Amino acid sequence: MLLGCLPGVAAAVALVLCAYGVERAAEPSAAAPAPVRKTAAHTASRPPIVSRATWVGDIGREQPPPRYDDKVVAVFVHHTDSPNDYDCAGAPTQIRSLYEGQTTARDWDDIGYNFVVDRCGTIYEGRAGGTGRPVTGAHTQGFNHRSTGIAALGTFTAGVAVPPAMERAIAELAAWKLGLSGTDPRSDVRLVSSNGGSRYAAGTTVMLPALAGHSDGFMTSCPGAALQARLPRIRETAAKLQGRRPDAGGRQEQQQKAQKKAQKKAQGENSRIAGTSR
């Protein structure tokens, strides 16, 4: 039986490795997010996106109005930690099961991800509110504001091949969403942690990749080592789709080193705070 398709409590268990670390409902940040440095305006075309009506069917539950931020300056990539050998025609059924598990067993108001991409490269609208609007998701605890969550349907741990069509679709979607705010997918952006359950204490302003993995903001193995390793290439593809020049300065390597250093520093500060409180 497919773990990603189990309703109720079983669905919640199957999602623990990746979905733990999302917020049931995004709350306003305690501190105002810092402005994002922009270069020249670069945009990308909106890729085809399948409406949520395709998968939600008649199970949609009553929910509060969507929440919005002022813009999207970051993308967090996830995997759903479910089997990879599905027929793409059945992807809506899997997404429907994810929704049922999150809204029923976990009592969330909607699916946490803003978008879901299947292995054939089809992009599905996830959380309600409008694909072109900066909908506040519930996908990366501490960093749901000014970001969008893209979930790759499947499991992409070390050694698992990431389908080229899926990788391309993630790049196209990221290029479009980040292009709406003029953000370079290869850049670092300032985000404010809204929850101490993330890698950073609540209220901390941090620099994270504009196109990041779930594990960049939360202590998790999501989106899996294989997909995480593809992020530099996805960033470059997204930047190219925005009409930007290739990264000739090794920005990706510098970005990764700076991120690891920041994470170690934050973990040390959190440990110090915890010790003081005792």
Entry pTM: 0.79
Model pLDDT for residues 170-211, shown as the tens digit of each residue? 999 999 999 999 999 999 999 999 999 999 999 999 999 999
What is the predicted pLDDT for the residue at 69? 98
In order of 34, 160, 183, 278, the CA distances from 37 in angstroms are 9, 36, 8, 39
- Phi-psi category of 219—alpha, beta or left, where left has phi over 0 and alpha has psi -120 to 50? beta
CA distance 268 to 181: 33
Joined together, the tokens standing for residue 221 give 């193995």
Tens of pLDDT, residues 26-82: 443 333 444 444 444 799 999 999 999 999 987 767 888 999 999 999 999 999 999
